[in-house]
Amino acid sequence: MRYFNLRLFFLLLLTAGSVHAQEPVSADHFAQRAINRFEEKDFEGAIADFTKAIELNGQQQEFCFYFRGIALYRRGRLDEAIADLSKAISLKQHPRFYGDRGTLLAQKGDFDSAIADLNKAIELEPKNAKAFGDRGIVHLMRGEDTAAESDFEKCFELDKSLETQFKSAANQIKQQAVLRAEHQDPADAEIVKFSWEEEAARVLKPSAPVATVTTTPVSQTGLRVLGDPTAKDQPGPPPLLDPSSTALPNDRKPDTIVRGVNYKFSAAVKNTGAKTITNVQWAYFLVRPVPRDTSVYIFTSKVNIPPGKEKTLRDQVPSRVLPTVQTKATIAQDRELLKERVVILRLEYADGSSWKSSGPR
């Protein structure tokens, strides 16, 4: 059950048999106004009204605690939000309650409890695509790549529309991991040369902007990846881990032709060892000194590089949409400020063995 349906269900329960009043006079009226305030993003007002509905012992108390918890989360009060979701769970075993508490626990870095909650959400609703995707994100944050990929595969099988947002969030987590890690060069492969280029493009739908990661401290729990609900101009976590999103997952903007830029990357890898290389995971870093930030792009290339041979790996990232006033000269000027480097993250060999570069910094 998605969030929108849950909210609609609660509204139907409240409006059935109730009379609209301009000023709330009963628990149900307070709850109904709280939902309206929640939808208008008046979270303080929603919290106050849900509190009053709870104090007056209105119907559907579990939903009052749930929505108050989400409103508290939207105000950056994470511990109180978790407490309210826990109270909702004690009143009703609802998969959405478990799923959303799990995502909030993940933001605190309590991955074990988060996994337990998401397991319960899936147990209660085996076709809960979002719970599979969220559990995949938590596995990825714990470094459990195989388990994460399995959950993502199940999520996309159940709901294809979630694929773009989960892949985007997963990529951000991988980027953070690459930025935090120390990288060693493999003994049997070397980067001979590398480059990147821009290509003008026209796309039907605006793509997500290039993920830029600042070098300000990043929590080991991945909080920067999930988003900070208290930060100015930040809406909170991305949709996959945002229990308070009011948008339908299937909402689509009309197709629009826009001007953009495709980024194409290449790196020539030479096999200096004795085993044939069959797979290369590599990262292309673009570092801007002022303001100091780093963009990293991670690629995986299936190859066949015998000992002593060299092969050029090529890949690209989705188009970046440009403002209409931006010119080629602007892009070229920005590029002059960038410093570049390429790192080999992982190698796989024909004999089934592998090598990995990164480790905790």
Which residues sit opposite 305 in a β-bridge? Answer: 277
d(CA 300, CA 342): 13
Distances in Å between the alpha carbon of 40 and those of 35, 151, 230, 246? 9, 34, 18, 10
How many CB atoms are closer than 10 A to CB 124? 16
- Largest Cα separation within the chain, whole Å, is 81
Burial (0-12, 13-18, 19+ Cβ within 10 Å), 229: buried
Map out the domains of the chain with their CATH numbers: 3-177 (1.25.40.10), 189-229+237-356 (no CATH)
Which residues sit opposite 253 in a β-bridge? Answer: none
Amino acid at 35: I
Q: State the residue for tokens 């303080």.
A: 44
Give long-range contacts, CB 8 A cutoff, 24+ apart: 77-80.
78/104, 78/107, 78/108, 78/229
Query: pLDDT per position in the chain (361 positions), as tens?
Result: 344 456 555 655 555 444 444 677 788 899 989 999 998 999 999 999 999 999 998 788 999 999 999 999 999 999 999 999 999 999 999 999 999 999 999 999 999 999 999 999 999 999 999 999 999 999 999 888 889 999 999 999 999 999 988 988 888 888 888 887 778 889 999 999 999 887 776 655 444 333 333 332 322 322 222 333 333 333 223 333 444 443 333 444 445 555 667 788 999 999 999 999 999 999 998 887 766 677 888 899 999 999 999 999 999 876 554 444 444 444 555 667 778 889 999 999 999 999 988 655 4
Q: Is the pTM of this model over 0.75?
A: no
Q: What is the DSSP string of 71-132?
A: HHHHTT-HHHHHHHHHHHHHH---HHHHHHHHHHHHHTT-HHHHHHHHHHHHHH-TT-HHHH
Amino acid at 90: S
Phi, psi of 97 (to 5 degrees): -60, -45
d(CA 129, CA 2): 10
CB 194 within 8 A of CB 284: yes
Category of 206 on φ-ψ map: left (φ > 0), alpha (ψ -120 to 50) or beta: beta
Distances in Å between the alpha carbon of 203 and those of 264, 318, 348? 16, 10, 35
Helix or strand (DSSP H, E) at 325: none
d(CA 242, CA 141): 16
Angle formed at CA 112 by CA 110 and CA 113, multiple of 5 degrees: 70
d(CA 283, CA 260): 23
d(CA 12, CA 34): 14
**Three-class DSSP category at 164:** helix
